[in-house]
Amino acid sequence: MVRDGSVTVRVPAKVNLQLAVGAARPDGYHELVSVFHAVSLHDDVTVAPSDALRVVVEGEEAAGVPADETNLAARAVLLLAGRLGREADVLVHLRKGIPAAGGMAGGSADAAGALLAADALWGAGLERAELLELAAELGSDVPFALVGGTAVGLGRGERLTPALARGHFEWVLALAEEGLSTPAVYAEADRLRAGRVLPEPRPSERLMAALRAGDPVALARALENDLQPAAASLAPGLHATLQAGEDGGALGGVVSGSGPTCAFLAADAEAADELAGALLDSGTCRAVRRAHGPVAGARVVEGGARE
């Protein structure tokens, strides 16, 4: 085990292929069916011994990420240290490639990465089930960041089952100028749907069949997100972004999670490059990223356990 060095974990962003949101529960969370899909936009989380808990945030998506104990990565380290009965005396370094407050689980990725990195640095060797339990305590999307791939999340999104999926999908992500607060988007969805009887959320058969077939055209048609009207209500510019994706030749597009990032599916890598150019030229987003999915969940890329 590495005791004096550092451990770096790479963690993917997610898009939601389906996000079916039921009624608010007594605990304030909403009952969900969330089909998570890990894409090749990453954060690198490095944990190294230090005299006290410190957080440093760098990278092209560092703006707006707190470098203190409110950071979800710091909370992950504190939670694990508490479980192990030790000091959380580490430097947590985040290299951000996932946009903050973008609906792509960037904060959750950092929590998952910090959990795995600190576990390796401290030689704790927690079982996968224990890591998943701590992850769920930190946030609804954190377990998926550990698992990666394509998975169905039930409950508040934390109860995961791998989806039967094949193939490889080409994505174009349109990043927005301003982030959206996840609780605010859920609250807006509640407001927009007030008085309606909400059906129990169910996995989309159409979507599951498209994933089993590895068919991007069918998958694009099946993308759905119950939070999209709420995200677009709070960020009306999203209508123009979604339209620009359609005009640029996307097979389909959807707001990811609570937004405001829009995820567009392309037929192949060449079509995705063209779509990325068209979206950038449209002026309807701050930045455009190319990505593919599914990719693996959090994994140690430097340091960690050695034979």
Residues annotated within the binding site for ATP are: 99-109
With H, G, I as helix, E, B as strand and everything else as coil, classify residue 283: coil
Residue of 150, 148, 171, 169 whose CA lies nearest to 262: 171
Instruction: Give yes or no for a contact between 170 and 269, defined as CB atoms under 8 angstroms apart.
Output: yes
Binding string, residues 116-155; x marks residues near ligand C5P by CB under 6 A: -----------------------xxx--------------
Minimum Å gap between C-beta 214 and ligand C5P is 28
CA-closest candidate to residue 134, choices 300, 21, 298:
298
CB of residue 252 to ligand C5P, shortest distance in Å: 24
User: Could you say whether residue 30 binds ligand C5P (CB under 6 A)?
Assistant: yes
Shortest separation between residue 143's beta carbon and ligand C5P, angstroms: 10
Contact residue for ligand C5P among 102, 106, 143, 157 (CB under 6 A)? 157
**Pairwise CA distance, residues 216 & 249, whole Å:** 13
Cβ contact 42:301 at 8 Å: no
Burial, 292: exposed, middle or buried (Cβ in 10 Å; 0-12, 13-18, 19+)? middle
Is 226 catalytic? The answer is no
Binding pattern for the stretch 50-89 against ligand C5P, x by CB under 6 A and - elsewhere = ----------------------------------------
Residue placing its CB nearer to ligand C5P in the complex, 43 or 141: 141
Please report the beta strands in the chain, taking only residues with DSSP state E, as ranges in sequence order: 7-24, 30-49, 54-58, 90-95, 150-154, 159-162, 169-175, 224-225, 252-255, 262-266, 287-293, 299-302
Q: Which is nearer to ligand C5P, 112 or 121 (CB)?
A: 112
Shorter beta-carbon distance to ligand C5P: residue 182 or 261:
182
Q: Is the CB of 190 or the CB of 215 nearer to ligand C5P? A: 190
Q: Is 177 helix (H, G, I), strand (E, B) or coil?
A: coil
Compare residues 29 and 198 and give the one whose CB is closer to ligand C5P.
29
- The structure tokens listed for 11 are 């963690």
Residues at the binding site are 99-109
Q: How far apart are CA 78 and CA 94, in angstroms?
A: 16
**Coil/strand/helix, residue 15:** strand
Which residues on neighbouring strands pair with residue 55, listed in sequence order?
92
Q: Say whether 96 is catalytic.
A: no
Indicate the residue among 21 and 244 with the shorter CB distance to ligand C5P.
Answer: 21
Residues 177-206 that bind ligand C5P (CB under 6 A): 182-183, 186
Q: Hey, which residues between 248 and 287 contact ligand C5P (CB under 6 A)?
A: none
Sign of CA dihedral 154, 105, 269, 301: negative
Choose the catalytic residue: 4, 14, 119, 273: 14
Please tell me the count of residues contacting ligand C5P according to CB under 6 A.
Answer: 11
Of the candidates 43, 110, 141, 226, the residue annotated as catalytic is 141
Closest to 167 measured CA to CA, from 136, 210, 198: 210
- What minimum distance in Å lies between the beta carbon of 189 and ligand C5P? 9
Q: Could you list the residues that contact ligand C5P (CB under 6 A)?
A: 29-30, 32, 139-141, 156-157, 182-183, 186
Active-site residue list: 14, 141
